[in-house]
């Protein structure tokens, strides 16, 4: 024993001798010491010793020989001990304080240097926490031993619980060296992240590494798990991974004769690099395959890369490289580049003389970028690029969303605002392509500049009320457009240069805000517009030899101008009808919003309008030479000076609220949200002076059914070629409201048994994601339905119907009517609390075909999940997947998928 320890023990014995003069409850034989007196005993010596050794706490360990000495004297109270002793010990003691507490008692064995806590004992040392019924600390060996107790029914009570570095274990017995970090536990239940381990013996060799013997581990959180993986030996590295030897599965305690030679189970938290496990698939057209095989690499805190690939036995493959970057308060974005070699077995090869395989090589590029508004106030930069081969989406397997997507679009924009928001400058680049037509349109660069309204006659320091002329405001907007069009099947750089079309547009509106004239608001306005074109189009008369109209494009600089002047007035009219007090309807309210305006526009573009003979019969068509298909069109022909008028209506009803207990409560019910009719009359027109009537309607019935509609009514009769003649439809013997030129109707509703569980994730695809991200999101939803399907809703139904039609003059100069109608139905219902069945369909009335039908069946099996998906249509597919719900074992799946293509 060191000299310092002898001195300290001598001082402690003197203190105890003094205390014996006043009490007989403490004996050197180490019998029961009440908690309140033990506090006094430990803190009686307050005179520090002069020594070079550091001050450390007294530490803990259990002596089972004292467990029976727990009889308390009358009047003694049980207090929780929570004290840091300041005994000065030798240099080989612990390097940090130990916080400890106990609800029953504490015993100090001076000769053997043992400290024992009884009853809900707790200790904390650095990042180590220990809880148990009894804790014994031996200072000589620096071992701490903990074990649980039993209640009056002989059931386990207060089993030792050990926590270090976020890992928790519950055992029958724990032996731990608090200095070296080594330990031994028996019958341990160990949790690391999502994994639960039960081992007969666990040996901790370092603070981060442990070895386990006779293990069972699972991701099921039940006391008796539904499944587990049994292995004889396992090594666990805290927050990194677990490695096991040969292992096999057990379901409901029944061994399954499926063995794996070894297992590697990642336990990392947060972002970390690693291999992305594939899934095995079989497909009659692609062959056997591995899908999703790849690697995820974290390059730094702001950059990572994901690489995925699909491999098929018939020779097809695909590769996707997806780097992502992010810097807080600066920018975020990701880039995706995909290569795809398709080799599909033709189903009709053996019944028809056809190539055995359909082969195709394609690529796809997507990029999204967003600049944080805090990085550079007043400046924004955003990009959303989607471009690639026209056949890429067609050959993506098991993805009806991508297979039907034949329109791609991209945009890149830079915007800068300065002068306290008065001025704005933006640069844009746009792209769109039609995969069916193989047509690609590029619009770049597009430049726009705008200056907000300025008031030239307004004084900087206003005195009194503003004059009417001080409210005169003027603003400016200017745009530059450049457009390129080409077919990707006939790409030629020289031809692309020939298709360049540019144009410039200037708009200068002048406005004046006048004070209200009673119930009327009057607003005068005047605007000037000018457009510049880089080419014009000339149509030649009908070519009798080739039976067509020849077109000639002439390069140059061409300008067109337009001036509009107007005066408008609007007001609001209210009307209410009240009902009897005995009626459930309190009142109906009608709001009318009429508007009227006078406008004038001179004909300043008549020199650019020509007539051409369009067929062999001599019919002539009038056209504008500036309508060359560029981003800016030509001004309309003719002088207009006339009247524009319109009316909008709102109907709502106030009814008695049956849920109000006072009997006087009411609630509003919208009957019609809007019913508007607009038209005009051109006094200067030589014919067709009455303008078409534009009607729109919107309403929400019962707060469930949304209805919107609109129509364009032509008040004039037409000839056999669809051209208007100067004769109103209601001038004849039979009255008619007009001829419908176009119309649309949309009805939608969503019904469910009760409100959705807000904790569930949304299953709609985010349109701002790249196609690859959308695909991965859909795959994740399909393979992990229990994370998204709300089993608390017995049923859910969504319906939508769309109808639109249009009448137009076709290229053969004949009047045609095109009508499109479709219906979408989506829904699901819970067959049982764990079974969910649903699906959706899209029916096209024009083709009278079921364009797409998808069905799904999901089963929540607590720690496992099952998903069955069926797609029927031009692209047919079937898949069934069974896998654990835990992200740790989610790639351990049983899956079967098949897909079929109709080309």
| Spatial separation of the C-alpha atoms in residues 571 and 531, rounded to whole Å | 35
pLDDT value for 277: 81
Q: Which two tokens stand for residue 658?
A: 């049956």
pLDDT value for 84: 41
| Spatial separation of the C-alpha atoms in residues 168 and 853, rounded to whole Å | 49
Bridge partners of residue 643, in order along the sequence:
598, 681
What is the distance of C-alpha 638 from the center of its chain?
A: 50
pLDDT value for 48: 35
Which tens digit of pLDDT belongs to each residue from 652-678? 988 888 777 776 788 888 888 999 999
Q: Give the rounded percent of residues in the chain with a pLDDT score beyond 70.
A: 81
The pLDDT of residue 380 is above 60: yes
Other C-beta atoms within 10 Å of 883: how many?
Answer: 19
The pLDDT of residue 49 is above 70: no
Look at phi and psi of residue 599 and say left if phi exceeds 0, alpha if psi is from -120 to 50, else beta: beta
- Burial label for 283, CB within 10 Å (0-12, 13-18, 19+), is buried
| Spatial separation of the C-alpha atoms in residues 437 and 487, rounded to whole Å | 8
Which tens digit of pLDDT belongs to each residue from 523-566? 898 999 999 998 888 888 888 887 788 888 888 899 999 999 99
pLDDT value for 89: 43
Averaged pLDDT of the chain: 79
Element (H, E) at 774: helix 771-783
Taking CA atoms, 293 is separated from 260, 340, 363, 514, in Å, by 20, 15, 19, 69
Highest mean pLDDT among 302-311, 402-411, 802-811: 302-311
Taking CA atoms, 681 is separated from 505, 567, 568, 603, 693, in Å, by 28, 15, 14, 16, 11
pLDDT value for 332: 94
- Strand, coil or helix: 226: coil
Helices (H), 703-791: 771-783
| Spatial separation of the C-alpha atoms in residues 540 and 546, rounded to whole Å | 12
What would the mean pLDDT of 170-183 be, rounded to a whole number?
A: 85
Q: What are phi and psi of 885, to 5 degrees?
A: -80, -25
pLDDT value for 40: 34
Other C-beta atoms within 10 Å of 308: how many?
Answer: 20
Among 756, 739, 742, CA closest to 806: 742
**Which residues are within 8 A (CB) of 70 and not within 5 positions of it... i.e. 6 or more apart?**
32, 104, 105, 118
Q: Which two tokens stand for residue 882?
A: 């069974």
Q: Which residue has the tokens 């020989």?
A: 65
Q: Taking the alpha carbons of 179, 180, 183, 189 in that order, is the dihedral positive or negative? A: positive
What is the band of 428 on the pLDDT scale with cuts at 50, 70, 90?
very high
* DSSP code of residue 761: P
Among 84, 77, 181, 200, CA closest to 130: 181
pLDDT value for 785: 57
Lowest mean pLDDT among 68-77, 136-145, 161-170, 342-351: 68-77
| Spatial separation of the C-alpha atoms in residues 886 and 863, rounded to whole Å | 7
pLDDT value for 711: 94
pLDDT value for 57: 38
Which tens digit of pLDDT belongs to each residue from 463-520? 778 888 888 899 999 999 998 888 877 777 777 777 888 999 999 999 888 888 888 8
Among 90, 277, 459, CA closest to 884: 277
Among 28, 32, 97, CA closest to 59: 97
Element (H, E) at 420: none
Look at phi and psi of residue 469 and say left if phi exceeds 0, alpha if psi is from -120 to 50, else beta: alpha
Which tens digit of pLDDT belongs to each residue from 513-522? 888 888 888 8
Q: Which two tokens stand for residue 102?
A: 């106990």
Q: Taking the alpha carbons of 681, 684, 685, 686 in that order, is the dihedral positive or negative? A: positive
| Spatial separation of the C-alpha atoms in residues 896 and 880, rounded to whole Å | 5
Among 131, 142, 208, CA closest to 170: 131
Which tens digit of pLDDT belongs to each residue from 188-217? 887 766 778 888 998 988 878 889 899 888
What would the mean pLDDT of 166-181 be, rounded to a whole number?
A: 82
Bridge partners of residue 713, in order along the sequence:
693, 740
- Strand, coil or helix: 835: strand
| Spatial separation of the C-alpha atoms in residues 577 and 586, rounded to whole Å | 9
Beta-sheet strands, E only, within 691-789: 693-701, 705-714, 716-718, 724-728, 739-752
What would the mean pLDDT of 710-732 be, rounded to a whole number?
A: 81
DSSP-assigned letters across all residues of 8-40: HHHHHHHHHHHHHTT-SS--TT-----HHHHHH
| Spatial separation of the C-alpha atoms in residues 815 and 806, rounded to whole Å | 10
The pLDDT of residue 581 is above 60: yes
311, 341 contact by CB (below 8 A) = no
pLDDT value for 582: 81
The pLDDT of residue 319 is above 90: yes
The pLDDT of residue 87 is above 60: no
pLDDT value for 506: 95
| Spatial separation of the C-alpha atoms in residues 477 and 507, rounded to whole Å | 5
Q: Which residue has the tokens 């067929």?
A: 615
Taking CA atoms, 172 is separated from 147, 150, 201, 240, in Å, by 6, 11, 10, 26
Look at phi and psi of residue 456 and say left if phi exceeds 0, alpha if psi is from -120 to 50, else beta: alpha
pTM here is 0.64
633, 529 contact by CB (below 8 A) = no
| Spatial separation of the C-alpha atoms in residues 450 and 14, rounded to whole Å | 92
Q: Taking the alpha carbons of 108, 114, 119, 123 in that order, is the dihedral positive or negative? A: positive
The pLDDT of residue 46 is above 70: no
Bridge partners of residue 167, in order along the sequence:
164
To the nearest 10°, report the CA torsion of 339, 345, 347, 349: 130
pLDDT value for 499: 80
| Spatial separation of the C-alpha atoms in residues 771 and 791, rounded to whole Å | 29
Pairing verdict, β 241-244 and 263-266: antiparallel
Other C-beta atoms within 10 Å of 670: how many?
Answer: 15
pLDDT value for 790: 55
Beta-sheet strands, E only, within 389-517: 407-418, 423-434, 439-454, 472-487, 501-512
The pLDDT of residue 70 is above 80: no
Bridge partners of residue 861, in order along the sequence:
864
Which tens digit of pLDDT belongs to each residue from 97-153? 878 888 888 888 888 888 888 888 888 888 888 899 999 988 888 888 998 888 777
Counting Cα atoms < 13 Å in the Cβ hemisphere of 410 gives 22
| Spatial separation of the C-alpha atoms in residues 6 and 10, rounded to whole Å | 6
Among 185, 180, 221, CA closest to 203: 185
Does the N-terminal peptide bond of residue 445 adopt cis geometry, omega within 30 degrees of 0?
Answer: yes
Among 158, 171, 248, CA closest to 204: 171
DSSP-assigned letters across all residues of 494-525: HHHHHT-EEEEEEEEEEEE-PPPBTTBEEEEE
Bridge partners of residue 898, in order along the sequence:
878
Which tens digit of pLDDT belongs to each residue from 800-854? 999 999 887 665 666 778 889 999 999 888 888 888 898 888 888 888 887 778 8
| Spatial separation of the C-alpha atoms in residues 507 and 524, rounded to whole Å | 17
What would the mean pLDDT of 766-784 be, rounded to a whole number?
A: 55
Which tens digit of pLDDT belongs to each residue from 22-36? 333 333 333 334 433
Which tens digit of pLDDT belongs to each residue from 226-266? 888 899 998 988 778 889 889 988 888 888 888 888 888 77
DSSP-assigned letters across all residues of 229-273: EEEEEEEEETTTEEEESSEEEEETTEEEEEEES-EEEE---SS--
Bridge partners of residue 724, in order along the sequence:
718
What is the band of 182 on the pLDDT scale with cuts at 50, 70, 90?
confident
What would the mean pLDDT of 713-722 be, rounded to a whole number?
A: 80
**Which residues are within 8 A (CB) of 576 and not within 5 positions of it... i.e. 6 or more apart?**
587, 588, 589, 590
Q: What are phi and psi of 901, to 5 degrees?
A: -120, 140
Q: Which two tokens stand for residue 781?
A: 């939803």
């Amino acid at each position: 024993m060191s000299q310092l320890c002898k001195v300290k023990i001598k001082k402690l014995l003197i203190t105890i001798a003094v205390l014996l003069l006043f009490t007989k409850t403490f004996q050197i034989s180490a019998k029961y010491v009440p908690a309140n007196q033990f506090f006094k005993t430990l803190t009686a010596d307050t005179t520090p010793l002069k020594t070079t050794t550091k001050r450390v706490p007294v530490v803990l360990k259990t002596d089972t020989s004292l467990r029976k000495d727990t009889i308390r004297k009358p009047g003694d109270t049980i207090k929780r001990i929570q004290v840091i002793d300041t005994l000065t010990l030798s240099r080989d003691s612990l390097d940090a304080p130990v916080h400890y507490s106990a609800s029953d008692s504490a015993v100090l064995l001076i000769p053997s240097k043992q400290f024992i806590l009884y009853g809900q004992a707790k200790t904390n040392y650095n990042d180590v926490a220990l809880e148990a019924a009894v804790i014994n600390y031996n200072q000589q060996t620096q071992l701490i031993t903990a074990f649980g107790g039993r209640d009056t029914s002989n059931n386990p009570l207060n089993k030792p619980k050990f926590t270090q570095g976020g890992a928790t274990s519950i055992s029958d017995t724990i032996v731990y060296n608090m200095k070296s970090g080594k330990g031994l536990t028996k019958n341990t239940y160990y949790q690391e992240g999502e994994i639960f381990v039960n081992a007969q013996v666990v040996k901790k060799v370092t603070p981060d590494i442990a070895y386990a013997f006779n293990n069972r581990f699972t991701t099921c959180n039940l006391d008796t798990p539904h499944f587990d993986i049994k292995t004889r030996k396992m090594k666990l590295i805290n927050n990194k991974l677990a490695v096991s030897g040969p292992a096999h599965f057990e379901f409901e305690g029944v061994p399954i004769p499926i063995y794996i030679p070894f297992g590697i189970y990642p336990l990392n938290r947060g972002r970390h690099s690693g291999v992305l496990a594939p899934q095995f698939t079989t497909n009659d057209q692609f062959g056997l395959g591995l899908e999703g095989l790849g690697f995820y690499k974290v390059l730094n805190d702001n950059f990572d890369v994901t690489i995925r690939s699909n491999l098929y036995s018939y020779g097809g493959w695909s590769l996707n490289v997806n780097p992502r970057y992010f810097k807080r308060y600066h920018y975020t974005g990701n880039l995706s580049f995909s290569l795809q070699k398709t080799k599909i077995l033709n189903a009709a090869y053996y019944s028809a003389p056809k190539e055995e395989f359909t082969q195709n090589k394609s690529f796809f590029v997507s990029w999204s970028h967003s600049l944080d508004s805090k990085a550079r106030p007043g400046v924004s930069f955003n990009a959303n690029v989607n471009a690639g081969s026209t056949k890429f989406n067609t050959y993506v397997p098991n993805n009806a969303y991508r297979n039907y997507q034949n329109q791609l679009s991209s945009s890149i924009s830079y915007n800068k605002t300065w002068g306290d928001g008065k001025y704005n400058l933006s640069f844009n680049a746009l792209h769109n392509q039609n995969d069916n037509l193989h047509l690609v349109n590029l619009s770049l660069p597009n430049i726009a500049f705008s200056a907000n309204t300025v008031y030239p006659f307004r004084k900087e320091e206003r005195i009194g009320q503003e004059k009417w002329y001080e409210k005169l405001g003027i603003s400016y907007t200017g745009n530059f457009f450049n457009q390129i069009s080409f077919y990707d099947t006939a790409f030629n750089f020289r031809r692309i240069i020939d298709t360049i079309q540019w144009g410039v547009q200037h708009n200068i509106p002048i406005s004046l805000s006048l004070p209200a004239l009673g119930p009327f608001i009057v607003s005068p306005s005047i605007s000037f517009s000018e457009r510049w074109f880089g080419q014009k189009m000339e149509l030649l008369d009908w070519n009798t030899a080739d039976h067509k109209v020849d077109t000639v494009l002439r390069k140059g600089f061409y300008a067109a101008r337009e001036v509009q002047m107007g005066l408008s007035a609007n007001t609001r009219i209210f009307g209410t009808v009240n009902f009897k007090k005995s009626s459930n309807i309190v009142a109906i309210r009608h709001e009318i919003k009429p508007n009227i305006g006078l406008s004038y526009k001179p004909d300043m573009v008549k020199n650019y309008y020509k007539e051409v003979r369009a067929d062999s019969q001599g019919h002539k068509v009038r056209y504008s030479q500036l309508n060359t298909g560029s981003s800016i069109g030509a001004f309309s022909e003719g002088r207009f000076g006339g009247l524009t008028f319109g009316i909008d209506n709102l109907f709502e009803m106030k009814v008695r609220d049956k849920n109000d207990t006072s009997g006087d409560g009411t609630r509003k019910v919208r009957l019609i949200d809007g019913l508007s009719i607009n038209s005009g009359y051109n006094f200067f027109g030589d014919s067709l002076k009455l303008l078409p009537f534009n009607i729109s309607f919107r309403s929400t019935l019962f707060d469930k059914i949304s209805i919107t509609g609109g129509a364009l009514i032509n008040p004039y009769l037409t000839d056999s070629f669809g051209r208007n003649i100067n004769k109103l439809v209601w001038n004849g013997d039979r009255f008619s409201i007009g001829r419908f030129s176009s119309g649309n109707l949309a009805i939608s509703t969503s019904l469910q048994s009760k409100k959705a569980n807000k904790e569930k994730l949304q299953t709609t695809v985010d349109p701002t994601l790249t196609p690859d991200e959308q695909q991965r999101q859909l795959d994740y939803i399909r393979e992990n339905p229990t994370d998204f399907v709300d089993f608390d809703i017995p049923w859910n139904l969504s319906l939508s119907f769309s109808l639109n039609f249009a009448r137009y003059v076709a290229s053969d100069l004949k009047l045609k009517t095109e009508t499109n109608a479709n219906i979408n139905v989506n829904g699901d219902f819970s067959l049982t609390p764990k079974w969910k069945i649903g699906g959706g369909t899209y029916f096209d009335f024009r083709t009278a075909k079921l364009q797409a039908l998808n069905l799904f069946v999901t089963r929540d099996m607590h720690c496992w999940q099952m998903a069955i998906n069926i797609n029927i249509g031009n692209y047919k597919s079937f898949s069934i997947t069974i896998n654990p719900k835990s992200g740790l074992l989610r790639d351990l799946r049983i899956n079967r998928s098949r897909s079929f293509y109709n080309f």
